[in-house]
Chain A
């Protein structure tokens, strides 16, 4: 029993999240109209507690709980990023939830369940855990996308997301079953050796890998599995969009790294080429499409597609360097993107629209918000003094180190292309006069805290050296 207790410590953070989520659901029914504030506080406390309880997780624990999960540096790092991200989403989205009357209990419950699912994906030691985690994350996300019950766009988003997602989950499951069929094992640790020993026809492996990439590529919003992104990002409530852009993407990245780098590391030379192509197409398509958008949520949707492309560069490198570069970029991207979404939510909640003109003269109306958004955009571009710079530097470095100079150059070129659309917003904020009908934007307490946290992290990750060391410690193989 004591041994089981120790083993349960590994998933303590997820238990905290699920418990907080369920309590939130019930409590909200009792509080009715007064629910928004207290339940948001509960959800924030749950996320914060989950983050803190990671400290109790015994590091370096091998597969436990009947081989379902493991607590290595990688899972701790990714979970920390995910839970901190969830905290920022809760804080930053509270105002929006109240203003647009998103069902409170459902929203926070689903959000915490989804993030717990992501946490399971990051610590999966076995294909089944990994798939169940993904389903928990996905089903919660579909429902969240449709939470603005009276808004047809939101309903459309949920429906599109669900149908596409169901198909992609099936494709993923099919791919996993192929892997199981080829090797006879569900354990990630045994997958690689078993594949190497099985002597299966290469075409079979290609088939399995293609299906898995298709399924997870959907979650990560990689091109050509991205078609759901613009509509869902635009239609879903903005806090949900913020969560999808970092939570889903981060969990999917963790899953890909686990499955391919940890599970099929010895066969790296067979699959890196797919990821190199996927990364190249994704970042370029995302950036070029973002140039054409007039709605900021659609723009951020395509921007997040491009960011998925950058993350995949780490996988394409197929090295320890690539792995830690990717998770480090995930850390940088999470805080940066959430910060940007918090500002967008503040502008929206203040009564502004979502087209780019709503940002005209924001530097005059609320200089702090404009300055913060500027820093976040610079970080998304990869500008020095921000987290995004070191993130991209490491990714480009990993690519060069693995001999993928063309991909490194393409990543650099894409950074320049992305200036084009972020620039449109910055120009409106700083160089254009505010229109007479645009309101002054003020931040309420929790959103101010969320923006400040994101801002501080975006700058700190770009300046302090500790974060790199932590990411390096998170490399999968010693």
Chain B
């Protein structure tokens, strides 16, 4: 694949698809579906090619770099390391599944796919950009299409959810923008290149580093989301149409964690160490709070949404523990955090798709109105059980590996918090199992009459996810191989900061 600008293709192909759709007829239905599906499928192929040709050794791959605004030091700089690779691959797979899962959309189909493709460009850009301005552009680009996707095709409270999502993220990203500029001028490097700034920034006075770190934190934490900045998430996830909930949970939330990994920790290691404990505490709060609130929900989709809040806590815990000075355990914590991002991407996609499957048949998401559905829909019920077990962290499925390594690594530095986290894990298990129980078991609710099991298209979207989540559970080695390199690099940077 040498010579091909692989990352540029990944980023710009969806945009090209969107431009094509712009000229399609407004009432077209099959053409937009076909274009989007082909684009997303090509993305998966490109991501696989990137994975296949990745190789060993440190540094960024598939780098493309040229001057864009030389007078202010803005470059067009793309590149991925192992973490970027896993998230790009995840985004490509989820993108394809979302495109197929959206075949059910009947209203303004062309516009829907246009926004979906634009969103994909933003997502790919965030995970590959190595220039702050480029990164910020893609970061914001994710916002507008998502606003329309929720606002036009969402459920009853869509307008409220869409603007809430928009405003929360926008406030965060504006503070982030000022921090980026502060970083640019304080380092005096004359460039917005992430890697160059990462070389210069650790020399800044600690007080400045801390301020900038907090400013960046405001932008990233909203995206993660960190409790108490999470309240946009349940609204947006619940009101969004199924495929969009899938992308939100599986991919967009990862942008926050990725940004901590790519920007905050390596660029400002000293400040990261100072805030490491704070991160870990926030992570534990996320785990416990998310699980507790999920237990109290009666809306199926809200349960899954709060489950996301809970799982993102593991990412924060892992990052915080790794940022603290420690004799050992940092590598496990970081790898665990990165693994949780990947695993949660697959699990949450599975669960949101399943919520959609049930909602399409029952026209309700109320868990109390369900029950005994296994009898009518055994196949869906089985997949649901599989997803729930993966989500609660059953060994052998993907959820377990990341959570286990995060706790294992964090135990060396913040053992007290890990004990609290373990209590949270019990709660996680509880709400997962209780949800499974309320959907599948108990006396069947008579009012639904005959229910058909999953259609071929639904099966097509769910089975690859089931396969992947199982693969990640039984053979995590192939992911560890690519994560090993960015984790090692980051740890060296962090160690240099102590």
| A contact patch SS | helix
A364 to chain B, nearest CB (A): 9
Contact B163 A397 (CB under 8 A): no
Contacts of A408 in B (CB 8 A): 178, 181
Contact A468 B170 (CB under 8 A): no
Stretch from A44-52, A290-298, A377-385 forming part of the interface with B: A377-385
Q: Write the residues of chain B forming the contact surface with A, with a CB cutoff of 8 angstroms.
A: 26, 67-72, 133, 136-138, 140-141, 144, 148, 151-152, 158-159, 162-163, 166-167, 170-171, 174-175, 177-178, 181-182, 184-185
Contacts of B151 in A (CB 8 A): 427, 430-431
| B contact patch SS | helix
Judge whether A31 is part of the interface by a CB distance below 8 angstroms. no
A408 to chain B, nearest CB (A): 5
User: Which residue of chain B has the shortest Cβ distance to A397 in the bound complex?
Assistant: B181
Contact A431 B159 (CB under 8 A): yes
Contact A384 B175 (CB under 8 A): no
Contacts of A427 in B (CB 8 A): 151, 159, 163
Q: If the complex has contacts A384-B141, A427-B159, are A393 and B71 also in contact, measured as CB distance less than 8 A? A: no
Q: 9 shortest A-B CB distances, which residue pairs?
A: A384-B137, A412-B174, A465-B69, A384-B140, A400-B181, A397-B181, A431-B151, A416-B170, A401-B185
Contacts of A468 in B (CB 8 A): 69, 71-72
B323 to chain A, nearest CB (A): 26
Q: If the complex has contacts A408-B181, A412-B174, are A430 and B152 also in contact, measured as CB distance less than 8 A? A: yes
Judge whether A419 is part of the interface by a CB distance below 8 angstroms. yes
Judge whether A122 is part of the interface by a CB distance below 8 angstroms. no
Most chain A beta-carbon contacts within 10 A, residue among B141, B170, B181? B181
Contact B175 A409 (CB under 8 A): yes
Contact B182 A405 (CB under 8 A): yes
A408 and B177 CA atoms in complex are apart in Å by: 10
A427 and B151 CA atoms in complex are apart in Å by: 8
Known: A384-B136, A397-B185, A427-B163. 13 other contacts (CB 8 A): A367-B26, A378-B144, A396-B177, A396-B181, A400-B182, A412-B177, A412-B178, A413-B174, A423-B166, A427-B159, A431-B151, A465-B67, A465-B68
Contacts of B171 in A (CB 8 A): 413, 416
Most chain B beta-carbon contacts within 10 A, residue among A394, A401, A409? A409
User: Which residue of chain A has the shortest Cβ distance to B133 in the bound complex?
Assistant: A393
A469 and B95 CA atoms in complex are apart in Å by: 38
User: Which residue of chain A has the shortest Cβ distance to B141 in the bound complex?
Assistant: A384
A427 and B178 CA atoms in complex are apart in Å by: 28
Q: If the complex has contacts A367-B26, A423-B163, are A383 and B178 also in contact, measured as CB distance less than 8 A? A: no
A430 and B167 CA atoms in complex are apart in Å by: 18
A383 and B136 CA atoms in complex are apart in Å by: 10
Judge whether A472 is part of the interface by a CB distance below 8 angstroms. yes
Contacts of A260 in B (CB 8 A): none
Q: If the complex has contacts A396-B177, A427-B159, are A472 and B148 also in contact, measured as CB distance less than 8 A? A: no
Contact among A400, A416, A469 for B71, CB-based, below 8 A: A469
Contact A409 B71 (CB under 8 A): no
User: Which residue of chain B has the shortest Cβ distance to A371 in the bound complex?
Assistant: B22
Contacts of A183 in B (CB 8 A): none
Contacts of B182 in A (CB 8 A): 400, 405
Q: If the complex has contacts A419-B167, A431-B159, A465-B70, are A389 and B178 also in contact, measured as CB distance less than 8 A? A: no
Taking CB atoms and an 8 Å cut-off, the chain A residues in 169-223 that contact chain B are none
Contacts of A401 in B (CB 8 A): 185
Q: If the complex has contacts A416-B171, A469-B71, are A397 and B184 also in contact, measured as CB distance less than 8 A? A: yes
